[in-house]
Amino acid sequence: MIRMRFSYLFLCLLFAASLLMFGCGPNEEILKSNSDQAAAEPTAATKSEPEYDTVESEVENMRTADFDFIFVLHRKDGGVMQPDDKAFVRANVANANRRSLVEGGKAIVIGANAASTGDVNKKLSERFDVQDFSKPRIENDHSNVSANANIH
């Protein structure tokens, strides 16, 4: 009886070991992925730059996201944004919903749904060339009146 259990246990272990040996082989797709043929054919992602790396496409993305206020900032010297430039924008445009660095780091596109104060816009204009792509503002004679007020 003990010999029968030992034989049964031995067969189970042998079966499990054979499954592990034969079931855990190399993945052929992974082995072939580093071949010369794969290196000779670049993928679509490496053929071109991302579409969102231009000011125009990022402004369009901001419009698609339905931001009310869209600004594009460039350094006045036309150079690449430096870490202190990015920190300045982050600190002064805290109400931004999204900030994107585009054109190889030469422009920052800002999208927001809340207006910045005039002081913030002045600070940005002193340091950067600012382009405004915001939605047109609707002039309203009763802009200070509550939405639920009766207007006669």
Query: Nearest 5°: CA angle at 23, between 17 and 29?
Result: 155
Instruction: Compute the distance between CA of residue 75 and CA of residue 92 in angstroms, rounded to an integer.
Output: 16
Would 138 be classed as within a structural domain?
Answer: no
The separation between CA 70 and the C-alpha centre of its own chain, rounded to angstroms, equals 17
- Average pLDDT (109-114) is 92
Kindly state whether residue 89 falls inside one of the protein's structural domains: yes
Q: Residue 133 pLDDT > 60, yes or no?
A: yes
Note the pLDDT tens digit of each residue in 43-85: 554 444 445 589 999 999 999 999 999 999 999 999 999 999 9
Looking at residue 139, its pLDDT comes to 44
pLDDT band of residue 145 (cuts 50, 70, 90) is very low
Amino acid at 102: V
The answer as to whether 116 is a domain residue is yes
| 74 is a domain residue | yes
Work out the angle at residue 103's Cα, subtended by the Cα atoms of residues 58 and 66, and round it to the nearest 5 degrees.
Answer: 10
For residue 15, is it within any domain?
no
How many structural domains does the chain have?
1
Give the model confidence (pLDDT) of 84-111 as tens digits: 999 999 999 888 999 999 999 999 999 9
Select the more confidently predicted residue: 2 or 150. 2
Flag whether 125 is in a domain: yes
* 124 within domain boundaries: yes
The structure's pTM equals 0.57
CATH number at residue 79: 3.30.70.260
Phi, psi of 12 (to 5 degrees): -65, -45
Domain range enclosing 99? 51-132
- pLDDT of 42: 52
- H/E stretch holding 111 reads strand 107-112
Residues belonging to the chain? 152
CA distances from 5 to 10, 17, 97 (A): 8, 18, 69
Q: What's the order of all strands across the beta sheet hosting 128-132?
A: 98-102, 107-112, 69-75, 128-132
